[in-house]
């Protein structure tokens, strides 16, 4: 179940495609209920449970209360996000999908590539997984180029569809010197992309955009630097397997660089030498030489980007 | 902090103010006409969305941004025509129809977007700015305010036009009569239904332009629900302005400034929760009402359908 | 706006019966019309309308769990309808219901989960509802004062308080009432066991009962009591009310207190009965959808119950149908819009017919 | 005078409203150069007829011929085009526009309304008929009388050839009414066809060429011009009264008010009352009214009478001074408190504040007793009692309404007035303020109303009667105070010499 239509090159689309792929692989049927909004999702959960679903994947932190309750009621295992503590033998497991490791890499990449020494982060809200990626990105930048300036702006508390706001805010960041924008935000991210494509950096050069979750290459006009790709298929595949094996709910799931469920998109805009350097860092993370700890609260984001 | 407030940045902020103000201004002026004529037009969020979609679609299909604005105006007017038909001609409840039209427009535009654009998300080219000779040379202010898309100037030019319309023309009197005592207008030989219909269509046109501005200039893309409450703020502005176009502009500027200021603070690294900042304009207005406490008078017949000879 | 003239004096056959029949009659035609029109849209999208509406009815009206979901959803909606009936009959266009709802919800969600650890559940539930009423009323106070003592139109102020309240409630959830045990910005959760009891074994929350009782009580108050009549006089002609020696300011405050209080109560019932907690940026915008229904019901409680049921069922049913037939459920918005307009048409038509008959 | 073809002829015109036939197959002719007076009791259907001539309503049956041609007066616009100009019974001016702007209303939408020009033309037209008004004044700030004058002026400015005046003199002073009368004659002689609706027979006979009488929607007869000229005023009056009210004679002899004993206790006192008001500040009002005494307040409408009445009733804050009722100060109390103390106020603003138009007659009759037993028990309504009360009052005060459940707003002007009187004159009152109590009433109801006022006084309560009709005061009052520009310029006993002295006071001669 996803809150919005699965055509956003982002959270919803990845969730749905991942599930479909995993289902196809395991030969189980996948019913998609998309665009359910954040209002009252219980009736849909109940209906799916009644229709004999073997696993309910509630793909929005907003569903983390309703899903386990309905699951318990119909005793159907459910998967939720952003609430690890709700792990429950045979009933509930969490897959906190956060690309923080990938975001760290993106930070590294950005720090290496910025000409102006300023990078920007634009978000259309401050949900936990985005905060984690924002912080990781900032840490990546700092670790690589401590003197790089990071500019951070939120379009609005829940401006997910505010494309105009996305463009406006992004333009301000660019004017503030940023020549690389790390953007997170559903509908509004298209406004960010538009800003990147139509505005020159302060040094007169091109501004580049780092996306999250999805791969916007199909609609790119040559301004996409990279994207923190998620691939939820391994997660869902693992869940299905565990359900079959009857060990569901004994452990949570996550996405990481190691199993490739998180990765950084290589585009033509990335010079090979820099790419190899980034790959090195990637290896360090996998090997545990570098540990990126996710920070899910807005406060720690602000702490990192404030006062520079 | 150092070196953040460069000219470029300040210019961007000022430009942001304008970009955020124009849709509100158009929405507010549009609503104002309907309200003057006694039609409480709750449907302008819908008109705006339809304008945003129509504007984007035409601009994208024709590749001509100006045609796009035309399409936006027509899109808004289509919803306006429905409003006029249902509320003015048939006398249906204005709040019910207004909300229905908003919901309907949300649904229709989202569906159309889903069918057409949800795979490719086409984006438009930028509209070429038109520097105003002389003024555009002023440092900072010049590039920010006087090197803008022509539609921006047109939007602001509407304000004096409206002042003139309201104060210096028969239409101004007729609108006010239609809103304050329709029977008097009718017995003076002017069709109330005609005046109100004109008013509502004009609302649709203006608000449609506002929507088109959002999708064509402000965003360059169309995404579902992108008007994001602009229409409702427009309603508030129109009501607060008590018939004065100048006040609508003032209000729109306040809101636009607040939005841009939010960005400025965040970029400057000042840690203020966006929810709190979002409240500032409303808190400000409520405070003003509380202390100033001027009777915000609305047209006497606002919201009431007119039926000739009814006692 | 339109001031209603019916049900001012009783007599004749019981109004509940009349209203119920009227609603049924006046709803069927528009429903069929709306389904036909939106059916055409479906055809354009190459979806079989009969399948679609088959699923809608199947889910919304026939399947047990569907009906139960419908009934559960009705609880808070009925309370909001009651809140609006009081205000609208008194000629006060309270358009700030969503904020009043959210305020009530947020404070209850912050309060109840903590209290259940110390007090017996039933007591917590009762107290929570009181809290929500008070909070709602407080939120309604400012527009009330501005209207009562400075004559500032309440449509403006309630609209603005609505924007304010929606932002404030999510700010409160994030900054003040956030549940420390989760990274998700939401309040603590009231355990399922501690929520409003469900009705005999079903999934239907007893919020439904609360809603029904309250809206019927409100209807009775507005149509049968002196207090209700005073409110209606203020609504229909404030000058006459002043001339008749009624204290318009005091009555205005009373109306806002009741209306906003019920709005808050609706929030409490939603939390205590269904949701258990409030997430940041949560706003189901119930009041916004209820406003037109209350107008269509011509501020009549019984008719309002009918419409609320109709639209709850439609909402639940369409969600299911959209999923089964892979229609984006934006489509529901179109159906609702068509239905509202057609209902408004018949309502108008009925009014004209009444006028022709006299009274 | 020659007998030209009628400008407008009605053939079997019928208009129905829920529950009643307002106009029942009416045949009527309106001729050039004639003042055609329409008479009829309240609710007879006069205004309905007017609304059809003005294009506001369409006949259900019958035809309207304009110069012999059947014509659909489909809209006010059409009627105005044909030169039909109307002054309606209830004000048709936009309160938020100035008088001049109201006059300017209409024309090409992009045109400049030319305020200056209209102000000038309005002023001179007003001067022509000898009334003074400020064209630049905001309509909403003017008294009903002033608005009515403005509407007459506006109608004249349109240069109509067919002028309709629905109770245009209702709120004018005798002097202004006479002025209007002269004007009607002049217009007639200039070839205009005038339709004049009034409840004052003397006006009808003095200015009318032809009289038509409506009763219960039917035309029950009339007097042709030659007859009119032939009949003596006395005889004409009797004819008309007979037509209007059938057999019984309504010309009630004016009985002199019972004298007030010198020892009668003072009931109502105003002590140095001041009321701040933008338009008419009321200042230094000192009045005392004794038990069983009727005090008349004369004066041209808009000289502070309304403000004073509202201040006493508690609807308008007083800036200084005190009010005493039966020796107790009541200026601290609110409207309701003063009412409970025994003070009543019969407003002249029937539709504005007197009634709730959308509510049924039965409720409007109890508007000031909501919650009181026996109609409400413990705050819960007792429909039977409420209806019972309504039926009784409708009968007692002869309120013409289809049903007690009919929304009060649908009653005719006069019947709404009766409703107010019925409401205020029942129950016990210590002091009653009547504002234009009989304006818009027909002869019978005027007589009945005046009788009731006397009875009220007879029961020992103090009455203040505000009226622009001097004759009314001379018939009713013991003493008459004259009000001008917010002050009481003098109080005279109602003796043989009263008329002259009041005239002097009004015209601002010696005090
Ligand atoms: N209180 C009002 N109600 C209705 N319309 C108004 C009101 N005030 C102004 N208007 C209309 O708005 C037009 C524009 O007014 P403007 O922007 O000049 O405000 P303003 O000059 O401050 O108003 P004012 O003239 O009342 O001071 C005026 O010409 C008038 O037609
Ligand atoms: N719009 C209307 N709807 C319903 N009934 C109406 C309407 N207009 C007039 N009536 C009814 O028609 C009848 C005639 O009303 P009308 O106003 O013509 O009387 P009138 O002769 O002008 O009385 P008055 O001298 O009191 O003004 C009355 O019973 C009135 O209640
Ligand atoms: Mg009349
Ligand atoms: Mg009358």
The per-residue DSSP string of D424-452 comes to HHSS--SEEEEESTTTT--HHHHHHHHHH
A215 confidence band (pLDDT: 50, 70, 90): confident
Q: Which of B287-296, D1-10, D393-402, D409-418 has the highest mean pLDDT?
A: D393-402
What integer pLDDT is reported at residue D501 of this predicted model? 87
E strand spans, D340-413: 343-346, 376-377, 380-381
Structural element, H or E, at residue B126: none
Percent of chain D past pLDDT 70, that is, above it, reads 95
CATH topology of domain D266-359+430-507: Rossmann fold (3.40.50)
Distance B212 CA to ligand 1 centre (A): 28
C256 confidence band (pLDDT: 50, 70, 90): very high
What integer pLDDT is reported at residue D254 of this predicted model? 53
* Ligand whose nearest atom lies closest to the CA of B240: 1
The residue whose two tokens read 């985005």 is A130
CATH number of the domain residue B258 falls in: 1.10.3470
What integer pLDDT is reported at residue C329 of this predicted model? 82
The residue whose two tokens read 């008294």 is D143
What integer pLDDT is reported at residue D141 of this predicted model? 82
Q: Is B171 in the pocket of ligand 1 (CB under 6 A)?
A: no
Residue B263 lies in a domain: yes
- Strands A92-96 and A78-80, bridge-based pairing: parallel
What integer pLDDT is reported at residue B242 of this predicted model? 81
B293 confidence band (pLDDT: 50, 70, 90): low
Structural domains of chain C, count: 1
* Ligand whose nearest atom lies closest to the CA of D410: 2
Residue D377 neighbours by CB under 8 Å, 6+ apart? none
Q: How many CA atoms lie within 13 A of A147 on its CB side?
A: 4
Sheet holding A262-264, edge to edge: A149-154, A118-123, A180-184, A208-213, A224-230, A262-264
What whole-number distance in Å separates Cα of residue D406 and Cα of residue C5? 10
CA B309 to chain centre: 35
| Six token digits for residue D373 | 């037993």
Helix axes C330-357, B94-116, angle to 10 degrees: 160
What integer pLDDT is reported at residue D328 of this predicted model? 92
Percent of chain C past pLDDT 70, that is, above it, reads 92
Q: Do the domains spanning D8-245 and D266-359+430-507 agree at the CATH topology level?
A: yes
Is residue D196 pLDDT above 60, yes or no?
yes
- Lowest average pLDDT, out of A303-307, D25-29, D42-46, goes to A303-307
- Strands D376-377 and D343-346, bridge-based pairing: unpaired
Neighbours of chain D (3+ CB pairs under 8 A): B, C
pLDDT tens digits, one per residue of B38-65? 999 989 999 999 999 999 999 999 999 9
Residue C309 lies in a domain: no
CATH topology of domain D8-245: Rossmann fold (3.40.50)
Higher pLDDT, A129 or B164: B164
A157 confidence band (pLDDT: 50, 70, 90): confident
What whole-number distance in Å separates Cα of residue B243 and Cα of residue B302? 12
- Strands D218-223 and D69-70, bridge-based pairing: unpaired
- For chain B, positions 208-227, list CB contacts with chain C under 8 A: 224
CB-based contact, B4 to chain C, within 8 Å:
no
Preceding peptide of C261 cis, ω within 30°: no
* Residue D86 CB burial class (10 angstroms; 0-12, 13-18, ≥19): buried
Three-state DSSP class for residue B17: helix
Is residue D248 pLDDT above 70, yes or no?
no
pLDDT tens digits, one per residue of C158-206? 988 999 999 999 999 988 998 888 888 899 999 988 888 888 777 788 8
Q: How many CA atoms lie within 13 A of C98 on its CB side?
A: 23
Which residues span the domain enclosing C263? Answer: 73-299
What integer pLDDT is reported at residue D257 of this predicted model? 64
B285 confidence band (pLDDT: 50, 70, 90): confident
Distances in whole angstroms, Cα of residue D226 to Cα of each of C172, D213, D222, D229, D235: 88, 17, 12, 5, 14
What integer pLDDT is reported at residue B119 of this predicted model? 80
What whole-number distance in Å separates Cα of residue D13 and Cα of residue D27? 7
Is residue A13 pLDDT above 50, yes or no?
yes
Q: Find the radius of gyration of the CA atoms of chain B.
A: 20
Average pLDDT, chain B: 89
Which residues span the domain enclosing B134? Answer: 7-294
Residue C50 lies in a domain: no
Percent of chain A past pLDDT 90, that is, above it, reads 43
Closest residue by Cα to residue C104 from C31, C16, C187: C187
What whole-number distance in Å separates Cα of residue D333 and Cα of residue D315? 11
What integer pLDDT is reported at residue B195 of this predicted model? 96
| Six token digits for residue C146 | 């501005």
Is residue C327 pLDDT above 80, yes or no?
yes
Q: Ligand 3 (ion): which residues have CB within 5 A?
A: D 46-47, 89, 413
C9 confidence band (pLDDT: 50, 70, 90): very low
Cβ count near B225 (within 10 Å):
19
| Six token digits for residue A277 | 């350097």
Q: Is B168 in the pocket of ligand 1 (CB under 6 A)?
A: no
Higher pLDDT, D261 or C224: C224
Residue B300 lies in a domain: no
Is residue A139 pLDDT above 80, yes or no?
yes
Task: Note whether C273 and C288 are within 8 A (CB).
Answer: no
| Six token digits for residue B284 | 């400000």
- Strands D487-493 and D479-484, bridge-based pairing: antiparallel
D508 confidence band (pLDDT: 50, 70, 90): low
Distances in whole angstroms, Cα of residue D374 to Cα of each of A139, B20, C230, C245, D377: 80, 62, 17, 19, 6
Top residue of A16, A157, A159, A163 to mutate, by most chain B CBs within 10 Å, is: A163
- Supply the DSSP symbol for D407: B
- Supply the DSSP symbol for A125: B
Return the ∠ at Cα D484 (arms to D481 and D489), rounded to 5°. Answer: 50
What whole-number distance in Å separates Cα of residue C107 and Cα of residue C102? 9
Is there a contact between C157 and B99 if contact means CB atoms under 8 Å apart? no
Residue B291 neighbours by CB under 8 Å, 6+ apart? none
Mean pLDDT of B206-211: 97
Instruction: Let me know how long chain B is.
Output: 311
Mean pLDDT of C62-88: 93
What whole-number distance in Å separates Cα of residue D404 and Cα of residue D394? 8
What whole-number distance in Å separates Cα of residue A82 and Cα of residue A72? 19
Cβ count near C43 (within 10 Å):
11
Residue B299 lies in a domain: no
Is there a contact between B269 and A308 if contact means CB atoms under 8 Å apart? yes
Q: Is B244 in the pocket of ligand 1 (CB under 6 A)?
A: yes
What integer pLDDT is reported at residue C359 of this predicted model? 46
- Interface confidence, given as ipTM, is 0.85
What residues does each domain of chain D span? 8-245, 266-359+430-507
Is residue C59 pLDDT above 70, yes or no?
yes
pLDDT tens digits, one per residue of C116-148? 999 999 999 999 999 999 999 999 999 999 989
In chain B, whose CA is at the least distance from the CA of D410? B311
A148 confidence band (pLDDT: 50, 70, 90): very high
What whole-number distance in Å separates Cα of residue D423 and Cα of residue D416? 11
Helix, strand, coil % in chain C, rounded to nearest 5: 75, 0, 25
Residue C193 bridge partners (DSSP)? none
Distance D365 CA to ligand 2 centre (A): 19
Helix, strand, coil % in chain D, rounded to nearest 5: 35, 25, 40
Distances in whole angstroms, Cα of residue B47 to Cα of each of B52, D115, D169: 9, 36, 50
What integer pLDDT is reported at residue C156 of this predicted model? 85
- Ligand 2 neighbours (beta carbon < 6 A): B 309-311; D 17-18, 20, 22, 40, 42-48, 89, 400, 410-415, 440
Structural domains of chain B, count: 1
Task: Note whether B158 and B29 are within 8 A (CB).
Answer: yes
Helix, strand, coil % in chain B, rounded to nearest 5: 70, 0, 25
- Give, for ligand 1, the residue of B36, B166, B298, B302 to mutate: max count of ligand atoms closer than 8 Å to Cβ: B166
What integer pLDDT is reported at residue A195 of this predicted model? 92
pLDDT tens digits, one per residue of B63-122? 999 999 999 999 999 999 999 999 999 999 898 899 999 999 999 999 999 988 888 788
Distances in whole angstroms, Cα of residue A295 to Cα of each of A133, A258, A299, C113, C281: 8, 20, 9, 26, 20
Is residue A126 pLDDT above 50, yes or no?
yes
What whole-number distance in Å separates Cα of residue D266 and Cα of residue D256? 22
What DSSP string describes D177-216? HHHHHHHHHHHHHTT-EEEEE-S-HHHHHHH-SEEEEEET
In chain B, whose CA is at the least distance from the CA of A202? B8
Is residue B223 pLDDT above 50, yes or no?
yes
C8 confidence band (pLDDT: 50, 70, 90): very low
SS (H, E, C) C169-236: HHHHHHHCCCCCCCCCCECCCCCHHHCCCECCCCCCECHHHHHHHHHHHHHHHHHHEHHHHHHHHHHH
What integer pLDDT is reported at residue C11 of this predicted model? 41
- Lowest average pLDDT, out of A67-76, A114-123, C5-14, goes to C5-14
What integer pLDDT is reported at residue D502 of this predicted model? 85
């Amino acid at each position: 179940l996803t809150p919005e239509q699965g055509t956003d090159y982002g959270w919803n689309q990845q969730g749905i495609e991942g599930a479909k792929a995993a289902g196809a692989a395991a030969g189980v049927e996948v019913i998609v209920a998309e665009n359910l909004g954040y209002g009252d999702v219980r009736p849909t959960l109940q209906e799916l449970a009644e229709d004999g679903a073997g696993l309910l994947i509630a793909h929005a932190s907003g569903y983390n209360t309703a899903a386990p309750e309905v699951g318990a009621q119909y005793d159907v295992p459910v998967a939720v996000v952003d609430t690890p503590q709700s792990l429950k033998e045979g009933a509930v497991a969490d897959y906190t999908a956060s690309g923080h490791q990938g975001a760290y890499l993106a930070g590294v990449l950005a720090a290496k590539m910025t000409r102006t020494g300023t990078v920007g982060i634009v978000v259309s809200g401050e949900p936990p997984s985005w905060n984690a990626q924002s912080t990781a990105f900032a840490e990546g930048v700092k670790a690589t180029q401590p003197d790089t300036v990071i500019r951070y702006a939120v379009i609005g508390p829940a401006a997910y569809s505010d494309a105009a706001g996305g463009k406006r805010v992004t333009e301000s960041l660019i004017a503030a010197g940023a020549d690389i924008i790390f953007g997170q935000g559903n509908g509004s991210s298209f406004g960010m992309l538009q800003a990147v494509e139509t505005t020159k950096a302060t040094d007169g050069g091109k501004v580049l955009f780092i996306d999250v979750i999805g791969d916007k290459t199909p609609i790119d006009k040559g301004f996409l630097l990279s994207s923190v790709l998620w691939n939820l298929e391994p997660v869902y595949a693992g869940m299905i397997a565990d359900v079959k094996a009857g060990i569901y709910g004994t452990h949570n799931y996550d996405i990481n660089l190691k199993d490739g469920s998180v990765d950084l998109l290589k585009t033509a805009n990335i010079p090979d030498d820099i790419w190899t350097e980034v790959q090195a860092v990637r290896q360090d993370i996998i090997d545990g030489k570098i540990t990126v700890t996710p920070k899910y609260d807005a406060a720690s984001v602000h702490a990192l980007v404030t006062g520079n | 902090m150092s070196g953040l407030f460069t000219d470029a940045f300040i210019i961007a902020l000022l430009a942001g103010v304008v970009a955020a103000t124009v849709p509100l201004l158009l929405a507010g002026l549009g609503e104002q006409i309907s309200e003057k004529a006694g039609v409480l037009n709750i449907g302008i969020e819908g008109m705006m969305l339809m304008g945003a979609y129509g504007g984007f679609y035409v601009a994208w299909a024709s590749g001509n941004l100006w045609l796009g604005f035309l399409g936006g105006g027509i899109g808004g007017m289509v919803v306006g025509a429905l409003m006029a038909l249902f509320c003015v001609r048939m006398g249906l409840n204005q709040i019910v129809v207004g909300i229905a039209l908003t919901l309907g427009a949300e649904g229709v535009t989202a569906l159309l977007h889903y069918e057409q654009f949800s795979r490719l998300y086409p984006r438009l080219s930028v509209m070429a700015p038109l520097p105003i000779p002389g003024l555009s040379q002023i440092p900072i202010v010049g590039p920010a305010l006087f090197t803008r898309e022509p539609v921006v100037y047109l939007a602001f030019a509407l304000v004096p036009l409206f002042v003139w319309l309201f104060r210096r023309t028969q239409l101004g009197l007729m609108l006010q009569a239609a809103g304050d005592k329709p029977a008097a207008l009718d017995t003076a030989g002017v069709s109330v239904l005609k005046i109100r219909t004109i008013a509502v269509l004009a609302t649709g046109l203006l608000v449609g332009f506002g929507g088109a501005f959002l999708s064509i200039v402000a965003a360059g893309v169309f995404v579902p629900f992108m008007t994001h409450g602009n229409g409702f703020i427009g309603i508030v502005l129109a009501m607060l302005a008590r018939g004065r176009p100048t006040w609508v502009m003032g209000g729109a500027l306040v809101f636009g400034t607040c939005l841009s200021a939010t960005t400025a603070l965040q970029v400057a690294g000042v840690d203020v929760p966006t929810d709190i900042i979002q409240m500032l304009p409303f808190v400000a207005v409520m405070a003003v009402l509380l202390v100033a406490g001027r009777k915000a008078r609305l047209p006497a017949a606002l919201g009431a359908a007119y039926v000739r000879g009814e006692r | 706006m339109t001031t209603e003239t019916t049900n001012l004096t009783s007599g004749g056959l019981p109004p509940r019966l009349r209203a119920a029949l009227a609603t049924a009659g006046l709803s069927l035609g528009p429903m069929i019309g709306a389904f036909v029109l939106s059916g055409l849209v479906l055809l354009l999208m190459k979806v079989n309308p009969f399948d679609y509406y088959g699923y809608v009815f199947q889910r919304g009206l026939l399947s047990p769990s569907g009906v139960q979901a419908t009934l559960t959803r009705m609880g808070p909606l009925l309370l909001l309808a009651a809140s609006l009936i009081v205000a609208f009959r008194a000629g006060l266009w309270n358009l700030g219901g969503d904020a009043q709802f959210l305020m009530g919800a947020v404070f209850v969600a912050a309060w109840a989960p903590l209290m259940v650890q110390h007090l017996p559940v039933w007591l917590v539930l009762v107290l929570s509802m009181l809290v929500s009423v008070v909070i709602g009323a407080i939120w309604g106070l400012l527009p009330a004062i501005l209207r009562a003592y400075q004559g500032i139109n309440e449509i403006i102020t309630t609209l603005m308080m609505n924007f304010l309240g929606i932002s404030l409630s999510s700010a409160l959830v994030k900054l003040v009432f956030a549940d420390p045990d989760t990274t998700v910005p939401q309040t603590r959760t009231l355990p399922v066991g501690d929520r409003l009891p469900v009705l005999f074994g079903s999934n239907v929350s007893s919020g439904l009962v609360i809603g029904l009782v309250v809206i019927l009580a409100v209807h009775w108050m507005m149509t049968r009591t002196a207090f209700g009549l005073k409110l209606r006089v203020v609504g229909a002609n404030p000058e006459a009310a002043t001339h008749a020696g009624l204290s318009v300011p005091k009555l205005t405050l009373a109306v806002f207190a009741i209306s906003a209080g019920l709005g808050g109560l609706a929030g409490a019932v939603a939390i205590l009965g269904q949701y258990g907690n409030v997430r940041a940026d949560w706003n189901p915008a119930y009041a916004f959808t209820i406003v037109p229904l209350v107008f269509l019901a011509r501020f009549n409680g019984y008719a309002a119950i009918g419409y609320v049921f109709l639209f709850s069922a439609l909402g639940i049913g369409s969600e299911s149908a959209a999923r089964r037939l892979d229609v984006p459920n934006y489509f529901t918005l179109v159906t609702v819009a068509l239905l509202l307009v057609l209902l408004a048409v018949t309502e108008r038509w009925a009014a004209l017919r009444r006028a022709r008959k006299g009274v | 005078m020659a007998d030209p073809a009628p400008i407008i002829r009605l053939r079997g015109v019928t208009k129905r409203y829920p529950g009643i036939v307002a106009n029942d197959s009416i045949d009527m002719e309106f001729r050039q150069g004639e003042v055609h007076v329409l008479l009829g009791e309240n609710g007879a259907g006069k205004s309905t007829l007017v609304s059809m001539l003005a294009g506001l309503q369409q006949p259900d049956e019958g035809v309207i011929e304009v110069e012999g041609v059947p014509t659909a007066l489909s809209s006010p616009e059409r009627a105005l085009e044909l030169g039909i100009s109307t002054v309606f019974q209830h004000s048709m001016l936009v309160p938020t526009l100035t008088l001049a702007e109201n006059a300017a209303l209409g024309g090409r939408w992009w045109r400049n309304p030319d305020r200056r020009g209209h102000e000038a033309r309005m002023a001179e037209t007003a001067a022509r008929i000898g009334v003074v008004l400020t064209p630049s004044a905001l309509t909403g700030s003017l008294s009903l009388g002033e608005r009515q004058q403005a509407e007459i002026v506006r109608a004249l400015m349109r240069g109509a050839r067919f002028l309709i005046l629905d109770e245009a003199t209702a709120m004018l002073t005798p002097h202004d009414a006479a002025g209007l009368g002269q004007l009607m004659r002049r217009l007639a002689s200039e070839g205009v066809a005038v339709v004049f609706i009034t409840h004052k027979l003397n006006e009808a006979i003095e200015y009318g060429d032809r009289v038509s009488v409506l009763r219960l929607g039917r035309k029950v007869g009339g007097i042709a011009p030659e007859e009119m000229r032939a009949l003596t005023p006395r005889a004409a009056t009797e004819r008309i009264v007979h037509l209007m009210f059938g057999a019984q004679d309504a010309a009630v002899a004016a009985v002199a008010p019972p004298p007030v004993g010198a020892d009668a206790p003072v009931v109502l006192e105003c002590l140095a009352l001041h009321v701040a008001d933008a338009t008419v500040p009321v200042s230094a009002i000192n009045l005392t009214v004794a038990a069983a005494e009727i005090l008349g307040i004369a004066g041209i409408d808009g000289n502070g009478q309304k403000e004073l009445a509202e201040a006493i009733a508690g609807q308008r804050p007083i800036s200084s001074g005190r009010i005493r009722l039966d020796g107790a100060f009541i200026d601290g109390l609110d409207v309701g408190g003063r009412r409970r103390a025994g003070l009543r106020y019969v407003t002249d603003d029937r539709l504005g504040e007197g009634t709730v138009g959308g509510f049924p007659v039965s409720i409007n009759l109890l508007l000031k007793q909501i919650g009181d037993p026996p109609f409400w028990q413990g705050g819960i309504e007792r429909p039977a009692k409420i209806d019972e009360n309504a039926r009784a009052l409708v009968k007692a005060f002869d309120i013409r309404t289809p049903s007690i459940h009919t929304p009060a707003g649908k009653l005719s002007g006069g019947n709404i007035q009766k409703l107010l009187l019925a409401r205020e004159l029942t129950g016990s009152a210590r002091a009653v303020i009547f504002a234009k109590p009989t304006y818009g009433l027909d002869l019978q109801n005027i007589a009945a109303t005046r009788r009731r006022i006397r009875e009220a006084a007879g029961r020992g309560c103090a009455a203040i009667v505000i009226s622009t009709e001097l004759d009314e005061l001379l018939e009713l009052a013991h003493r008459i105070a004259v009000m001008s520009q917010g002050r009481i310029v003098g109080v005279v006993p109602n003796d043989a010499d009263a008329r002259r002295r009041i005239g002097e006071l009004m015209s601002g001669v010696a005090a």
